[in-house]
Amino acid sequence: MSPYVQIPYALPTALLALALALKFSTLVRAWRDPDVRATTLLLTWATAVLVVITPVNIDRLNRLTGVPNIASPWAYSFLTAFCATGLTMIMRWREEPSERRRRRIRRIYWIYAGIVVGLWVTFLPADVPEPRIYDLDTYYASTPWMREHILLYLSAHMVSSLVSAWMLWKWFPEVGNRWLKTGVVLLQLGNASGLLFDAAKLTAIGARWSGGDLDFLSTRAAPPFALLEAILVALGFITPQAGPFLIRWFRDQRDYRRLRPLWRAVRVLGPAAAPARFGFLAPLDLRLLQRQQRIHDALRLLGPYYDHGLYRRVYTAAAGRYPEARARGIAGAVVLQTAIDAFRRRAPHSVGAGPAQIGADVSDHLDAISQAFVHPRRLDRIRRRVTSTESANAHA
């Protein structure tokens, strides 16, 4: 069996398996959330379908079990479970939690569970001794019991695609969230691919019944639509959850990275209490929160050593050469570095003036201040220039 035949199946299978692996940690943390459970199940069924229908796995399953074509009820059972989970997820999106919604979801699960049972009931008595990897549906299209087996999975899949498309079409004008709208569009494209898959399969089977031969529709035209459907539907359900998460992750990653120079500058100060330590594998939002807290703790320690007058002079000097935000960052960085040096010498800026605090000039511009710490030589030059000018004025 050519390895090139496996590539179209391997790529989407790997993508879905990766999405499932990434979703697993969320399932562990929030397994009580029905949406999280449903999304995880959907990815599980989609991945299982693609794993089973890969030609090499069909052949392997037939050999391991000794039952010709046993991959058929397995693959179609997973496909049916995938359809049921997709329908119920759309219902969870569209409708508020209610007893009516719970009854409808429960009814769908029972109906599709019955279809799964029907798939096995129709397969077991079927006489299918010849293993067929690529053309099972058309080869056995007229075989008793196997004919019903094939029509049962195709009918269940087609009905779920039509019902899903109808519900999404009715709901689309009401969707305002851009991520949810994107998910709905992907789902509609996935349903369209699923219906094209069904149409190609049914046309090929109908041709067999009438004595014709359109097997290429089943063996060549239909499989790409099935693969595309699995990917689009999975993406459609993942996007509304993954989109906002990725936006927050990239924002937190940016903030975490941009605060690093300031964090490195102030970490020489002893913390007021032993800080909790988060490893690299800890969630990014917790590591960002710890970094922000460490910086704010340091600002409180530096309060008595902070020179507000120096800040104003440095800002005035920098404002003539740099934009507002950058001048604020340079001024804050110069004065914080001066305060850190004074802290090391235990030389407060003012004694007996009460508890000093660092105000909004610094706390509202931490990002710009942190970026200014990237260029320590520039800060030293500006500080020397300001202090030398101040010294010259004092002796004049």
* Mean pLDDT computed over 137-143: 93
Mean pLDDT, residues 286-301: 87
What pLDDT was estimated at residue 2?
41
**Cα distances (Å, whole numbers) of residue 205 to 124, 198, 208, 385:** 21, 10, 5, 86
pLDDT the model gives residue 396: 46
Instruction: Give per-residue pLDDT as tens, 87-133.
Output: 998 898 888 888 998 999 999 999 999 999 999 999 999 999 999 98
Considering 31-40, 287-296, 385-394, the range whose residues carry the highest mean pLDDT is: 287-296
Residue 220 DSSP symbol: I
Q: Widest CA span of the chain, in angstroms?
A: 110
Neighbours of 134 (CB within 10 A): 15
Instruction: State percent of the chain over pLDDT 70.
Output: 88
Q: How far is CA 267 from CA 132, 290, 294, 296, in A?
A: 67, 12, 8, 11
CA-atom Rg of the chain in angstroms: 32
Angle (CA) 322-334-342 rounded to 5° is 170
The number of beta carbons lying within 10 Å of the beta carbon of residue 215 is 18
Query: 81 or 244, which is more confident?
Result: 81
Query: Which pLDDT value is given to residue 3?
Result: 41
pLDDT at 356: 57
Residue 281, pLDDT above cutoff 80: no
Higher pLDDT, 206 or 353: 206
Rounded mean pLDDT, 235-264: 87
pLDDT reading at 222 higher than 70: yes
Plot region of 352 (φ>0 → left; ψ -120 to 50 → alpha; else → beta) = left
Please compute the mean of the pLDDT values over residues 140-167 and round it to a whole number: 94
Highest mean pLDDT: which range of 38-52, 206-220, 221-235, 292-306: 206-220
Q: What mean pLDDT, rounded, does the chain reach? A: 84
Question: For position 25, what pLDDT does the model report?
Answer: 64
List the structure tokens of 246.
Answer: 């990725």
pLDDT at 130: 92
Residue 355 confidence class, pLDDT cut points 50, 70, 90: very low
DSSP state of 221: I
Would you say 86 and 42 are in contact if contact means Cβ atoms under 8 Å apart? Answer: yes
The pLDDT score that the predictor gives to residue 244 is 85
Please give the pLDDT value at position 1: 44
